[in-house]
Amino acid sequence: MFARGSLMLRRSIVVVALFATAAGFVTVVLYAQVQPAAAVPAFARQYDLQCNACHTRPPRLNRFGEQFHMMGFQIPSASRPDGLLGSLKEDGPAKTLIDSLALRVVGGLFEYSESPRETEAKLESPHEVEFFIARPITPSLSLYAELEYQPNGIAFSRDRGFFNSGHTFGLGKEAFFMWNMGALLGAVGAPTMEMGGQTMVGRHGGFTMHGPMLMAGKVDPNTNFSYSTNRQMLLDTELEFEREPGKDRSEVHRLPIVPYAFASKFFGLFKNRGEREPQLVTDLVMYDTTGAPGADFHAMFNDVLLAQLGFLSENEGFNTYGMLRYDLLDRRELTFNVSVLLNWGFGVVRAPDPEEHHHPGGARLDRLRYGIAANLKWKALDVYGAVIIDRLYGLPGALRGDFDRAAAGLSVEVDYLAHEKVMLSGRFDQLWAGGLKDEELDGTVLSVQAKFYPWQNIAFFVRDSVNLRPFKEDNALRSWRNQLFVGIDWDF
Amino acid sequence: MRSRTLALLVGSGAFLALALWIARPPASLANGDKHDDDKGGHAHVPAPLEYADAHVPLGVWTDPAMITRGKEIYTTRCAVCHGDAGDGKGPAGVALPLMPSDFRDKAGVGEMRDNYWFWRVSEGGQVEPFRSKGSAMPPWKGELSVQDRWAVMAYQHTFSGHDGPHVPREHPESLAMGRDIYAMACVGCHGVEGRGDGSVGPTLSPRRAPQPRDFTTAEFKFRSTPSGQLPTTADLFRTLTEGVRSGGGAMTFGLYGHRIMPSFRHMPEEQRLEVIEYVKSLNPAFRERREISIVSIPAPPPVTSERVAQP
């Protein structure tokens, strides 16, 4: 297992990987041939559209897909007038039901990682299987829910630390309804127009506003941001932890690789008091919540300015935030937009105990988070990046000297559709960490990936991430040098 | 605790949404047209497909001979109702339940597209939505030749005080609705200027599938007209309604026949006509061509759900 740099092992890894890929491939081919019509996700089926009409390549959205999402999962200006009832009448209950469901399987067939001192190989079952229910109910109301099955769910408990909770099944990242409130504004006197069954505020040829759309439930509002984390080509990796023999509690062995701009960025914080769950530096928090209970409003003005406002719970506190996106350019196969985000989190994290840093203390901290993001799509190129700065408030006096209360992160991703079946991606992540000064450590990671789409809804990927900073054995952010993944991303 | 908050939030939100949906306010103005009100009834709805291609040649509007000829016709046939000054206050007009519109209203005339105008002069008040509003406007297609109708329109146009040709370029308001729909639903693929250069095209399926149409060239694919000619408005309308299916191919394996351009069949018909009028305005050739015989109803080619895009 720990044979240092063993060539034999490495070679067998490659063989296994190739074999697994080939086997997966064959299964896919067989499946697709048996049931070609079913091999597209819910919306594609509902609207009888190719995936690529909305996605540059799944899961990334193109301009039309963004518009589709913004309108509450409806073809802009052409929502079905009688909504769900219409589909039931026209397509019958069975097709309506099937067309509302979708499945996404993401798995690392294989994972391989190397530090200066170890080479480790392990075969992994799929990370997660997500099950979606998505459907417009009326022209101005739609539903979206995600159920998640994780064969190797990770949980945290006060006594055991992180542990493998085995098969977990539950509400996934998001579950919300989206409601167009245009008609409501019309009822209180705003001028409105009916645009393909949807009410829009304004006058043709003059000021127009689409929405406001209310998303409420468990939401991840960042799809509207220039850097949309739930639509990236490079998936987040998994947390790794270990329990040394004889010890009760596990230790975090390696932190996941995530877009650092959106990470929580501070060392030594806690999510809550009772469970003492640490807020990991790489935990994704506002505005990349991976789904939190709350309400989000967004509206688009004159087709160029998108404004967003929301309230989301986080740990023991809650967030308020506002975002503006300006679509500066849209011509000659080029779109360019810029967004700014401002977020204030009330009591969203807990400071460590000033005496005993490994325990949560009495102080809940406020967090100011602000940042800017931009996205440029030009021909086959898609570039998006974000810089996000965090600052904590309410730190106990006794902790001031030991704690750095400012942090920042930068993430830039470039996707290039080199061939219609091959998407090449690269992402650079830089973390200027904050938090307890004796643990605090910056991180820099470069990831590259090649994703092969034999069909629009199935992709195989090979991805490698490199830690560009010196290896640090005792810090989970940098206790690795290189990580290689071979995986599959499959949408039904 | 967490999940209870969530349930509460979702529940109350859903309830609110349901309540509001049930108590939905009455649909607002269908096309935001300020002339579409109860007393006027001059809803400047899009001309039906039979008349949609009946554009008036550009020169007609400003041709003095045409205007003189139009004045004669107007004085003898229209002034009774529409008034000598075009104000709708002719002796027979004032008594009508639905008064003729005031042609001195520049904005109102600006909203009226030429094919609508020609349709109204031809069919009068016999067509919907004017018929049910009790319109007394007579149809003239039996009595006035096409040229005569153009002439009288050219003269009527002079009341508005506008001296250029009556084309969308001069009256952007006549396309405002179509432009808004286009900006929302078509720009991503067909591009701001309709050149087929929206940002979606290059990734739609770059080498195999067809690219979104460049509306400004003469090349169109889904036509009932001979090759080399522009499609009829009815052809464009049909494409918009049905969408365009992919031709399959290796890339689309398993998705054979799914659309690369969505079907906009759920868009109200009137709005589909509006957006098509806007699309036509992007290419001047649509109003310059004369090969389409006016007021012929093009026989629709068989409605094929299999209209498939070939690379």
Q: What is the CATH number of the domain that holds B133?
A: 1.10.760.10
Same domain? B146 vs B187: no
Spatial CA neighbour of A56 closest among A461, A464, A428, A456: A456
B171 contacts on A by Cβ (under 8 Å): none
Q: Kindly report the pTM of this predicted structure.
A: 0.85
Nearest CB to B6 within list A53, A293, A457: A293
For residue B12, is it within any domain?
A: yes
The Cα of B288 is separated from the nearest Cα of chain A by a number of Å equal to 26
Q: Is B255 in contact with A456 (Cβ distance < 8 A)?
A: yes
Measure CB to CB from residue A293 to each of B5, B176, B251 and give the nearest one: B5
Residues B138 and B179 in one domain: no
Asked whether the beta carbons of residue A193 and residue B31 sit closer than 8 angstroms, the reply is yes
Instruction: Assess whether pLDDT exceeds 70 at residue B31.
Output: no
Could A205 and B180 be called an inter-chain contact, meaning their C-beta atoms sit closer than 8 Å? Answer: yes
Are B184 and B126 found together in one domain? no
Higher local confidence (pLDDT), A290 or B48: B48
- Quick one: pLDDT at residue B134? 85
Judge if B186 and B150 occupy the same domain.
no
**Number of neighbours of residue A12 by Cβ within 10 angstroms:** 12
Are B32 and A193 within 8 A, CB to CB?
A: yes
Nearest residue, CB atoms, A63 vs list B198, B246, B266: B198
Inter-chain touch A63–B187, beta carbons under 8 Å: yes
Q: Which residue of A lies nearest to B247 if distances are taken between CA atoms?
A: A50
Domain count for chain B:
2
Whether B164 maps to a domain, the answer reads no
In a domain, B163, yes or no: no
Residue B67 sits in the same domain as residue B151 = yes
SS3 letters across chain A: CCCCCCHHHHHHHHHHHHHHHHHHHHHHHHHHHHCHHHCCCHHHHHHCECHHHCEEECCEECHHHHHHHHCCCCCCCCCCCCHHHHHHHHHHHHHHHHHHEEEEEEEEEEEEEEECCEEEEEECCEEEEEEEEEEEEECCEEEEEEEEEEEEEEEEECCCEEEEEEEEEEEEEEEEEEEECHHHHHHCCCCEEEECCEEEEECCCCCEEEEEEEEEEEECHHHHCCCCHHHCCCCCCCCEEECCCCCCCCEEEECCCCCHHHECCEECEECCCCCCCEECCCCECCCCCCCEEEEEEEEEECCCEEEEEEEEEECCEEEEEEEEEEEEEEECCEEEEEEEEEEEEEEEEEEECCCCCCCEEEEEEEEEEEEEEEEEEECCEEEEEEEEEEEEECCCHHHHHHEECEEEEEEEEEEEEEECCEEEEEEEEEEECEEECCCCCCEEEEEEEEEEEEECCEEEEEEEEEECCCCCCCCCCCCCCEEEEEEEEEEC
Nearest of A168, A165, A127, A161 to residue A243 by alpha carbon: A161
- Supply A476's token pair: 């989970």
User: B78: closest CA among B47, B40, B124, B43?
Assistant: B124
Partnered with residue A430 across adjacent β-strands are A410, A444
Which of A49, A193, A454 comes nearest B259 by C-beta?
A49
pLDDT score of A98:
76
Pick the range with the lowest mean pLDDT from A165-179, A354-368, B8-22, B61-75. Answer: B8-22
CA distance B174 to B154: 17
Spatial contact of A425 and A416, defined as CB atoms under 8 Å apart: yes
Contacts of A208 in chain B (CB under 8 A): 180
Residue A206: both structure tokens together? 């003059």
Quick check: B254 and A334 CB within 8 A? no
How confident is the model at residue A109, as a pLDDT? 61
Residue A275 C-alpha, separation from nearest chain B C-alpha, in angstroms = 14
Bigger pLDDT: B18 vs B116: B116
Kindly list the distances between the CA atom of residue A182 and the CA atoms of A197, A311, A369, in Å, as whole numbers in the listed order: 11, 20, 30
Residue B134 located in a structural domain = yes
Q: Which residues of A touch B258 (CB under 8 A)?
A: 40, 44, 48-50
Q: Which residues of B touch A49 (CB under 8 A)?
A: 258-260, 262
Of B6, B30, B256, the CB nearest to A194: B30
What digits encode the pLDDT tens for the residues B105-158? Answer: 888 888 899 999 999 999 998 888 888 888 889 999 989 999 999 999 999 999
Contact A488, A106 (CB under 8 A): yes
Probe site for chain A from B45, B203, B253 (most A CB atoms < 10 A): B203
A454 backbone dihedrals φ, ψ, rounded to 5°: -60, -35
From the list A315, A240, A242, A314, the residue with the least C-alpha distance to A274 is: A315
User: Among positive and negative, which fits the CA dihedral A196, A200, A204, A207?
Assistant: negative
Which of A325-339, A474-488, B196-210, B216-230 has the least mean pLDDT? B196-210
In this complex, do A39 and B13 lie within 8 Å of one another by their Cβ atoms? Answer: no
Report the amino acid identity of residue A99. Answer: D
Best A195, A329, A490 residue to mutate vs chain B (most B CBs within 10 Å): A195
Beta-carbon contacts of B145 under 8 Å, excluding residues fewer than 6 positions away, are: none
Sheet holding A403-404, edge to edge: A266-267, A434-436, A403-404
Position B306 scores a pLDDT of 45
Whether A429 and A261 have beta carbons less than 8 Å apart is answered as yes
Asked if residue B247 lies in contact with residue B310, where contact means CB atoms within 8 angstroms, the answer is yes
Record: contact B184-A77, CB cut-off 8 A: yes
* A32–B199 C-beta distance less than 8 A: no
Same domain, B12 and B68: no
Domain assignment of residue B33, yes or no: no
Assess whether B189 and B240 both reside in one domain. Answer: yes
Inter-chain residue contact B197 with A203, CB threshold 8 Å: no
Tell me, yes or no, whether B182 lies in a domain: yes
Nearest to B204 among A40, A52, A421 (CB): A52
**Are B134 and B215 members of one domain?**
no
Are the CB atoms for B122 and B50 separated by under 8 Å?
A: no
What are the chain A neighbours of B17 within 8 Å (beta carbons)? 141, 177, 179
Cβ–Cβ gap B28/A76 under 8 Å: no
Check residues A68 and B2 and name the one with the higher pLDDT: A68
Residue B229 within a domain: yes
pLDDT at A428: 97
How many Å apart are CA A180 and CA A187, to the nearest integer?
Answer: 13
Per-residue pLDDT at B1: 42
Chain B positions in Cβ-Cβ contact with residue A84 (cut-off 8 Å): none
Please indicate whether, in this complex, the C-beta atoms of A380 and B200 are within 8 angstroms of each other: no
Structural domain range at position B139: 57-158
- Written in H, E and C, the secondary structure of chain B is CHHHHHHHHHHHHHHHHHHHHHCCCCCCCCCCCCCCCCCCCCCCCCCCHHHHCCCCCHHHHHCHHHHHHHHHHHHHHHHHHHCCCCCCCCCCCCCCCCCCCCCCCHHHHHHCCHHHHHHHHHHHHHCCCCCCCCCCCCCCCCCCCHHHHHHHHHHHHHCCCCCCCCCCCCCHHHHHHHHHHHHHHCHHHHCCCCCCCCCCHHHHCCCCCCCCCCCCCCCCCCCCCCCCCCCCHHHHHHHHHHCEECCCCHHHCCCCCCEEECCCCCCCHHHHHHHHHHHHHCCCHHHHCCCCCCCCCCCCCCCCCCCECCC
Note whether B120 and B221 are same-domain residues: no
Residue B85 and residue B142 share a domain: yes
- Is B49 within the bounds of a domain? no
Among B127, B158, B189, residue at a domain's last position: B158
Residues of B whose CB is below 8 A from A330: 187, 192, 198-199
Closest chain B residue to the Cα of A458, Cα to Cα: B254
Task: Provide the pLDDT for residue A156.
Answer: 84
| C-beta atoms of B200 and A303 within 8 A | no
Cα–Cα distance for residue pair A390/A266, rounded to 1 Å = 9
Residue of A61, A271, A314, A333 to mutate when probing chain B, most B C-beta within 10 A: A333
Residue B181 and residue B283 share a domain: yes
ipTM of the complex: 0.82
Q: How far apart are CA A151 and CA A147, in angstroms?
A: 13
Tell me the nearest-neighbour CA distance from B259 into chain A, angstroms: 4
Check A196 against B6: CB less than 8 A apart: no
Q: Search chain A and give the residue with CA nearest B22.
A: A138
CB contact under 8 A, B201 and A333: yes
CA-to-CA distance for A6 and A14, rounded, in angstroms?
A: 13
pLDDT tens track, chain A, 492 positions: 233 334 444 555 555 555 555 555 445 444 433 333 323 367 777 777 888 888 888 888 888 988 888 888 888 888 888 888 888 888 888 778 877 777 777 776 666 666 656 656 666 666 778 888 888 888 888 888 888 887 777 888 888 888 887 777 777 778 888 998 888 888 888 888 888 888 889 888 888 898 899 999 988 888 889 998 888 888 888 888 888 888 888 888 888 899 999 999 999 999 988 888 899 999 988 887 778 889 999 999 988 999 999 999 988 889 999 999 999 988 888 899 999 999 999 999 999 998 888 888 888 999 999 999 999 999 889 999 999 999 999 999 888 888 999 999 999 999 999 888 899 999 999 999 999 998 899 999 999 999 998 877 788 888 888 889 988 888 888 888 888 888 888 777
pLDDT value of residue A111: 67
Q: Residues of A with CB below 8 A from B275's CB?
A: 77
- B146 and B181 co-located in one domain: no
pLDDT of the residue at A225: 92
From the CA of A133, how many Å to the nearest CA of chain B?
16
